[in-house]
Amino acid sequence: MSDILFIMSIKQKSVTYLEISANKAGQRIDNFLYTHLKGVPKSHIYRILRTGEVRINKGRIKPSYRLNANDVLRLPPIKCQTIIPKVPNANRLTELANATLYEDDLILIINKPSGIAVHGGTGINGGVIEGLRVLYPKAPSLELVHRLDRETSGCLMIAKKHSMLRRLHNLLRCGEIHKQYLALVQGHWKPRRTQVNAPLRKNVLKSGERIVRVSPDGKSAITQFSIERQFATTTLLKVKLLTGRTHQIRVHAAHVGNPIAGDNKYGNDSFNQQMRHDYNLKHLFLHASKLDIDLPEIKYHLSIEAPLPPSLQQVVNNLDVKI
């Protein structure tokens, strides 16, 4: 059978059965459904998974279940209006077209601009993946390998083939894709503080906003920090993630008393206002600066660096002047 035989319509009136091809093997069922049930809210997808309306080989599965080749997927009747994903405006498309750091037949790596979400959603006029699908009409299998917060800039991986997506997801699960970030934080970072190990718990407010807090009953979260530059009242840090929790760097930095400059969710309002007034910092100073990929089984090795965007580089230049 083809990779997927189901096309979302306004109403699916009967149960549908799909056979999963080898190209889809390894993908999480929730991500598969979110991609292919265009217009169906995530809340509805998780509900039909939780209630057992979605089944694999006649059995109930969890959202974390990973598809296998030849799995038979049962989809219940769907009553949900199809929503055509919004596309970023012309200026954003131009920005994305000029953001390429590396490209081959398997992967695209861009220097994601700050201020654009990786994918569209409620109240968002299109994201990175929607824009790239417009820019790459001959690459129908484009998929995000991972995510960056909307205000975070830097290296973002997009797989061009499902086989590469599976390989990269396996590396991410094993912590074998090495990612480095640059973050400007408030105050002087203690040189001996090379690691923050504090469990994180994610809460979703009624508005849908996600808030992450350090909590004893949270998930394990470990972040490594090292000083890149010390300024009069701020510190530029190199950061490496040993786990990949939502907002991990931002919450860990704030937890130890050194919030990231420009962080409107976890940061210090008066510090952010000062940085905006004195240094024209208009958004979060967190940048995914480098990543290393090693896939020896296919002799594939990459080391990619993303330069700071001009707006953040100018902040650093101005901080240099005032030392």
* C-beta of residue 252 within 8 angstroms of C-beta of residue 274: no
The Cα 78–Cα 15 span in angstroms is 9
C-alpha to C-alpha distances, 97 to 34, 110, 150, 296, nearest whole angstrom: 26, 9, 18, 30
Catalytic residue, candidates 149, 263, 292, 294: 149
Rounded to 5 degrees, φ, ψ at 229 are -145, 140
55 DSSP β-pair partners: 60, 74
The Cα 91–Cα 96 span in angstroms is 9
Residue by residue, DSSP assigns 129-143 as: HHHHHHH-TT-TT-E
* C-beta of residue 141 within 8 angstroms of C-beta of residue 32: no
Q: Which residue has the tokens 């008393």?
A: 257
Rounded to 5 degrees, φ, ψ at 69 are -60, 140
Query: Which amino acid, residue 1?
Result: M
Tokens of 242: 């040993």
* C-beta of residue 235 within 8 angstroms of C-beta of residue 257: no
DSSP 242: S
C-alpha to C-alpha distances, 76 to 7, 15, 34, 53, nearest whole angstrom: 14, 5, 14, 6
Query: Which amino acid, residue 107?
Result: I
Let me know if 149 is a catalytic residue: yes
Residues identified as active-site: 149
